Amino acid sequence: MPRFCEVAVPVPLNAIFTYSVPPDLPEPCIGGRVIVPFREKRLSGIVTDLHDREPSFEAKSVQLVLDTTPALTAELMQLGRWIAQYYIAPIGEVLRTMLPLSAEFRRATGYHITDKGIEALHAASTVGSSLRARIAPEQQMLEYAVLNHLADGEVVRETSLRSATGASRAVLLGMLRKKWIAREDRSGVRDASRTIQIASLRQIEGKLNSNQQKIIDYLRAQPEERAPVPAIRKLAVSRTTLQTLVRRGIVELSEEPAEFRLSGLKPRKLEFRFTPAQRTALTEIGIAVQSGKFTPMLLHGVTGSGKTAVYLSAMQSLLSQGRSAILLVPEIGLTPALAADLHQVFGDEVAILHSALTDDERAEQWKRIRNGQAHIVVGTRSAVFAPVSDLALLIVDEEHDLSYKQEESPRYHARDVAVMRAKMSHAVVVLGSATPSLETYYNAQGGKYRLLELPERIEKRPLPEVEIIDMREEFQRSKKDSVLADKLLEELGERLLRGEQAMVLLNRRGYSAFVLCRECGETVQCKNCAIAMTYHQREHRLICHYCGFVRPAPKTCPKCGSEYVQYLGTGSEKLEHILHSIFPQARIGRLDRDTVRGRDDLEAMLSALQAREIDLLVGTQMIAKGHDLPSVTLVGVVGSDSALGFPDFRAAERTFQLLTQVAGRAGRGTTPGKVVLQTFFPNHYAIQFAAAHDYRGFYEKEARFRSWMHYPPFNAVSNVLVRSSKLEEALTWSGILGKWFQSSRLDGVRVMGPAAAPIVRLKAEYRYHFLLKSKSRQRMNAVLCAMIDHALDNRIPRGNLVVDVDALSLI
């Protein structure tokens, strides 16, 4: 047995640590988890190497071996190393992100009573209890309760001690200082053979309130009218609602092994009627899979061309061969309805991974994949790390979607990781989109990716006609500053009269975008961010959309006290009100982050639309994403160009994508669709090409601009952000790095900055940044690594320095 192991622990340090392996422990393995002491804590880390080389210092010992077979296969370990190197991210953090098993290891602190504590307890007990209750201040009462709770000498975890006694952390710290109690690390592995509570519906009797009804309706919709309790908790009803139902005998709870699953479905053969283009794409994908060679492909299909059918069919043909596939979908694309469809198609062969799963559920899905019970994986960003064996096909749906980029460390892009994973596994990777990112289309143009095209909608349905309304002319003509153009109102009225459905996109939530004082000209800003706060009418308060800070809606200016405060700018909440006043008969629904709190809300709104319980849907970009709504025949776009005003070189691309995607919601059924697009920049090429459904035209124009400006896809860009809660620190540190960039040899890397970030203060931190551009990723990587070393030498904490390789967001 090797005497030492190298362990990657989840800390923001770019290092691996050596530990000794005590002979009485099971033998660890590379890619397996171990518990190790790290500073004052115990951490779960991944073994990256085993050896007998004695280190020059005294190595601490591994405390526990969690896996004797790898949790991360050699293939995934290799992928993790690539991510750490490419994105300049600490390896321990990368490996932790790849392995969703944190639920099995709980960090916890335990307390036990000391001899001094027992003395104190005795002293307190000799005073009569009633007297004590009268004279002891609250602090002493709590201390007494804690000592009493620990009196039998057992170690009690901090969480249970605090909930049993009501003592705060401060009380416990005070007692630690008096040496009445002692603390120890009680982190450990939880019992893996856990059970789960299942609720089943019994007799319904008596009156029910709406929350109780919500639970009943949910259970009724489940097979055998039973569901796991954690799923019911997600219905956003309070704990006591379920308890009441149990007490009244309406719902019964039982314990079942954690492997409990609702379906026992076998995969079902799909029957699709494919267009010739779909068939060609499928054949090409099939041939590439059979070749056993790394083949990256771009599936460029217009909206409504049937990309999903191609994905499902391609994945299903792998099942009979016993091989595996992963389908990545954007954050919002994975609705419960899609999950249900996938279960229908793939039965128990599919594992679904998304952000709404609890840690335990995620770990369970992960184990099913690892054990080879599920060969098909569908999930959001982190599903790219699913531990499938014999990976043949990786698909990234809506590959241009921003949710594939993780905006915290490690800042990886799941699409690019998917391509790298496919390369390492000799697999096929299909990137699908109606509006491919410039990077991906550039690769297809240059022959790096094979281009598959679906140029037509299924059943030869036409793409919607797009009419551009120049809002400057509209203002000239009507002399009023209206949110909705007459033409759009007219078209909406017609649709409502004909009993068809319509959608209106306004990509800004809330009621009024900002609050302005007429007297001093100030807008009400967030106290944590350099951003105007948005008025939300229903809550009657101002909310910061960046940090969530809330304040009451002011009647007078917080700055000068003037009464002339004005609420300006329109958000989706106000648009709903406006439409309601114009079309009082219409049933209007709204889809934005205020109305959609969880996956179920989105689902409920979409099915209401499908069931024609809603005539008109208002919303933010949420309404633009992938939903297939056959009865929508009109899409209105209000304030379509707001993104064009942002200081972001991707603004035109984002506008083009958003407009094309939302236009794609119109006319997916038998009636042709129409789009009315209101804009202040009717001649902007992003708007012109979107209206003409001309992706190629847009790409060529945008590519020329990117090339001149040395932006992606022609150059790599990285954003380096220096942040601190103290302005002085942020300035000093960015100054130190600025000097270093100036005095270093950076051949081939251009550096811009330091400059104040577009949002100079965010979440109570001041932010300055540098933008790096280079034709050579290698050079850029070397410069960034050297810069980090210089920063650490100058005592700039690593946590205050954000290095974002291939940055998507520059705010």
- State yes or no: residue 675 binds Zn ion (CB under 5 A): no
Name the one range near Zn ion by CB under 5 A: 69-77, 539-547, 577-585, 796-804: 539-547
3-state helix, strand, coil in the chain (%, to 5): 40, 25, 40
**How many amino acids of this chain bind Zn ion (CB under 5 A)?**
14
> DSSP letters of 295-323?
EEEEEEE-TTS-HHHHHHHHHHHHHTTT-
Q: Which is nearer to Zn ion, 185 or 519 (CB)?
A: 519
What are the CA-CA distances from residue 765 to residues 168, 202, 787 (Å)?
A: 29, 54, 22
CA-wise closest residue to 716 among 652, 783, 792: 783
528 binds Zn ion (CB under 5 A): yes
Smallest gap from Cβ 509 to Zn ion, in A, equals 15
CA distance 383 to 9: 22
Q: CB 799 → Zn ion: shortest distance, Å? A: 20
Q: Are 103 and 189 spatial neighbours (Cβ–Cβ below 8 Å)?
A: no
Residue range at the interface with Zn ion (CB under 5 A); choices 441-449, 453-461, 526-534, 803-811: 526-534
Closest separation in Å from C-beta 797 to Zn ion: 23
Task: Indicate whether 532 belongs to the interface with Zn ion (CB under 5 A).
Answer: no
- What lies within 8 Å, CB to CB, of 683 at 6+ separation is none
Nearer to Zn ion, 9 or 762 (CB): 762
For residue 705, state whether it binds Zn ion (rule: CB under 5 A): no
| Position among 1, 127, 236, 520 found at the interface with Zn ion (CB under 5 A) | 520
Identify the residue among 562, 566, 794, 809 touching Zn ion (CB under 5 A): 562
* Cβ proximity to Zn ion, 220 vs 518, nearer residue: 518
513 vs 652, beta carbon nearer Zn ion:
513
* Interface segment toward Zn ion; rule CB under 5 A; list 105-113, 196-204, 243-251, 514-522: 514-522
Residue 575 tokens read as: 């648009």
**Rounded to an integer, what distance in angstroms lies between the CA atom of residue 774 and that of residue 781?**
10
Residue 37 DSSP label: E
Choices 46-54, 256-264, 510-518, 666-674 (CB under 5 A): range interacting with Zn ion: 510-518
517 makes contact with Zn ion (CB under 5 A): yes
Of 12-20, 28-36, 118-126, 537-545, the window that binds Zn ion (rule: CB under 5 A) is: 537-545
CA 408 to chain centre: 10
Nearer to Zn ion, 526 or 788 (CB): 526
Q: Shortest approach of Zn ion to residue 564 CB, angstroms?
A: 8
Task: Count, in order, helices (H) and strands (E) of the chain.
Answer: 25, 35
Footprint on residues 541-560 left by Zn ion (CB under 5 A): 544, 546-547, 549, 557, 559-560
* Binders of Zn ion in range 301-320 (CB under 5 A): none
Crossing angle for the helix pair 599-610 and 336-346, nearest 10 degrees? Answer: 80
Distance in Å, CB of 722 to Zn ion, minimum: 19
Q: Would you state the structure tokens that stand for residue 85, as one six-digit string?
A: 């190197």
Supply the minimum distance, in Å, between the C-beta of residue 515 and Zn ion: 10
Nearest distance, CB of residue 560 and Zn ion, angstroms:
3
Instruction: Using the minimum distance from each CB to Zn ion, give the nearer residue, 389 or 528.
Output: 528
Q: List CB contacts of 503: < 8 A, sequence separation 6 or more.
A: 616, 617, 618, 619, 623, 629, 632, 634, 635, 636, 662, 665, 666
Residue 519 makes contact with Zn ion by CB under 5 A: yes
- Regarding 523 and contact with Zn ion (CB under 5 A), the answer is no
Alpha helix (H) residue ranges in 114-238: 115-126, 129-135, 138-150, 158-165, 169-177, 210-220, 229-233
CB atoms near residue 63 (< 10 Å): 17
Is residue 754 reached through a cis peptide bond, with omega within 30 degrees of 0 on the bond before it?
A: yes
Q: How far is the CB of 513 from Zn ion (least distance, A)?
A: 15
Question: Nearest approach, Cβ of 9 to Zn ion (angstroms)?
Answer: 33
Is residue 621 within 8 Å of residue 647, measured between CB atoms?
Answer: no
Nearer to Zn ion, 2 or 554 (CB): 554
We find the least distance from the C-beta atom of residue 510 to Zn ion, in angstroms, to be 13
Q: CA 684 from chain center: how many Å?
A: 31
Query: In this complex, which beta carbon is closest to Zn ion, that of residue 443 or of residue 525?
Result: 525
The residue (of 504 and 532) whose beta carbon lies closer to Zn ion is 532
Query: Interface residues with Zn ion (CB under 5 A)?
Result: 517, 519-520, 526, 528-529, 544, 546-547, 549, 557, 559-560, 562
